[in-house]
Amino acid sequence: MSTTESRRTTTETTRTPADQAVKETLEDYTLRFAPRSYRRWTPMVVATTALGGIAYMADFSIGAGIGLAHGTGNALVAIAVAAVVIFITGFPLAYYGARYNIDLDLITRGSGFGYYGSVVTSVIFASFTFIFFALEGSIMAQGLKLGLGLPLWLGYAISTLMVIPLVVYGMKALSTLQVWTTPIWLLLMAGPLVYLITNDPGTVDRFLAYPGTNGDGAVNTASVMLGAGVCLSLIAQIGEQIDYLRFMPPKTEENKRAWWTAVVMAGPGWVVLGALKQAIGVFLAVYIIAEVGPAAAPEPIQQFRSAFDAMMPSWMVIPLAVVLVVISQIKINVTNAYSGSLAWTNSFTRVTKHYPGRMMFVLVNLAFALAMMEADMFSFLGSILGFYSNCAIAWVVTVATDIGINKYALKLSPLQPEFRRGMLHAVNPVGVVAFVAASGLSIAMYFHLLGDTLQPYSPVAAAVIAFVVTPLMAVVTKGRYYLRRSDDGISEPLLDADGNPSAATLDCHVCHQSYERPDLAACVAHDAVVCSLCLSTDKVGDHILPATV
């Protein structure tokens, strides 16, 4: 047996079905196709679970920071520009994740990067999860300090440790948590805003007229691009949405309306709520700036403390503000820890051909996040996100372009995604070259290496270069680096009559378990079939099909 997961049922005759269920929940199909037998949730439950992670408070800080620096007009335009880009690029990724039941790393492998080429994007995504975990943990620590008087270092530790029990059990626990906490969160977030606007309409006029500290408030391209660059750092959030959307049920004629609604709402549609929260962050920062000053105005705990103070007795203010922050932090950081563990495990297993189990990387991700919190990364939030956005944009736009242009328009990329080792080339220059060119040039622009005038446009450069170079490389290479071979050696069709991944099962001859058809490939050396994880951990290549001549 080559892996922890491979060994999990070699003694299945002595284990109960309950034991098997617990183990499957712990692993949560970390590196592989999510089988139909596990996907028991309705489209709306999956969508609600996915949108539960959008409860994060960082949006309020991001919007407030942009608004205070550049004025309300520039902030609102920047938020809108970023939202449009995120929605357009997120749509094809969400569709592929939900339709074929694979996460964004598995999509990336077959959409221009190759089996090992997507390791770098997995690391980028893992970085996204611990950066935003640290942001949310910092916000929670601020709330615990205000409400309970706890020192920040202790608040950081509490916000980190409390998510571990929830993350252990993957989708089953997370779906229950997100569904039950979402109504409470929505009420606490929207209530103060409605009250302030209703009882003091002048707050809207002051909000719209706020000029910012870096200019006269007039809308200008440079300020909009700088603001949009920070917002676009959230473009990688689609990866966390897909970590839930991969558990969508099969799309059929009977459920297609609910299926599409869920995919759009919980896929690219997350950015609608995100953009609204950023605009609310600007509004609340302008509302309280005279009370707490510009330095504290971007802190969500201060924003909601002041908003609650205007509408209820003073004894309720801080407890409710703390409850809102804690609920928000839990809802998003279980997702950050969960998705980060998937990304790290994917990368580690492919590089080392050893599967250590997902829980190891839950702890690794949390350790990175805690270190960033202790380094007070909240104080330089804008700089971190502005830099990070260049890499995230280059990656997401490259994959989205490969799906939208190379697959459907040019037909140079295989329409059906492929993720199994042996079926893909190690590296596909289409995505790798486009990503390196887009991220490299945009980062150079961000650090003023190409002049001060171009610096605000680094996010635009990342998107445009990725969008142009991706199809260009597909044409230059004639698409020959997408598939190492087109036949996986199994006669059973991959898709059923409705175009969904087949639910037919076969037994892997290495780990002796039954897997659904999309998770398997033939092993000529043993005249049998082998699952994708056993392929990933095959250190001598004994089970890997030869390349098609």
pLDDT digits (tens, 9 = 90+) for 183-225: 777 787 888 888 888 888 888 888 999 988 876 778 999 899 9
12-68 pLDDT, tens digit each = 333 433 334 335 444 567 678 889 988 888 999 899 888 876 777 788 888 999 999
pLDDT score of 485: 94
Residue 456's pLDDT band (boundaries 50, 70, 90)? Answer: confident
What is the token pair recorded at 310? 């205007």
With 0-12 CB in 10 A as exposed, 13-18 as middle and 19+ as buried, what is 482? Answer: buried
Mean pLDDT of 153-169: 82
543 near 523, Cβ under 8 Å? yes
Expressed in percent and rounded to 5, the helix, strand and coil fractions of the chain are 70, 5, 30
pLDDT score of 82: 94
Checking if the pLDDT of 275 tops 70, the result is: yes
Contacts of 321 (CB under 8 A, 6+ apart): 143, 146, 147, 301, 304, 305, 308
Domain edges within the chain: 40-477
Checking if the pLDDT of 546 tops 80, the result is: yes
Domain 40-477 class? mainly alpha
Tell me how far apart the alpha carbons of residues 162 and 336 are, in angstroms, rounded to a whole number: 13
Instruction: Calculate ∠ Cα 129-532-239, nearest 5°.
Output: 20
372-405 pLDDT, tens digit each = 888 887 677 667 777 788 999 999 999 999 999 9
Whose tokens are 């002595």? That residue is: 14
Between strands 520-523 and 514-516, the pairing is unpaired
Checking if the pLDDT of 441 tops 90, the result is: yes
pLDDT score of 513: 86
163 vs 247, which has greater pLDDT? 247
pTM (two decimals): 0.86
Taking alpha carbons only, the member of 127, 226, 113 closest to residue 466 is 113
Checking if the pLDDT of 341 tops 60, the result is: yes
Query: How much of the chain exceeds pLDDT 70, in percent?
Result: 91
pLDDT score of 31: 72
Checking if the pLDDT of 73 tops 60, the result is: yes
Computed over every residue of the chain, the mean pLDDT equals: 85
DSSP character for 234?
A: G
pLDDT score of 7: 36
How would you label 118-141 residue by residue, b for 16+ Cβ within 10 Å and e otherwise?
bbbbbebbbbbbbbbbbbbbbbbb
Of 161-165, 172-176, 525-529, which one has max mean pLDDT?
525-529
pLDDT score of 175: 61
Checking if the pLDDT of 329 tops 60, the result is: yes
Of 77-81, 251-255, 285-289, which one has max mean pLDDT?
77-81
What is the token pair recorded at 435? 């990503």
Checking if the pLDDT of 271 tops 90, the result is: yes
The number of residues in the chain equals 549
Phi then psi for residue 361, to 5 deg, are -85, -15
Checking if the pLDDT of 112 tops 70, the result is: yes
Residue 427's pLDDT band (boundaries 50, 70, 90)? Answer: very high
What is the token pair recorded at 166? 């929830």
pLDDT score of 414: 95
Checking if the pLDDT of 9 tops 50, the result is: no
pLDDT score of 260: 97
Checking if the pLDDT of 521 tops 80, the result is: yes
Pick from 33-42, 143-152, 163-172, 476-485: least confident: 163-172
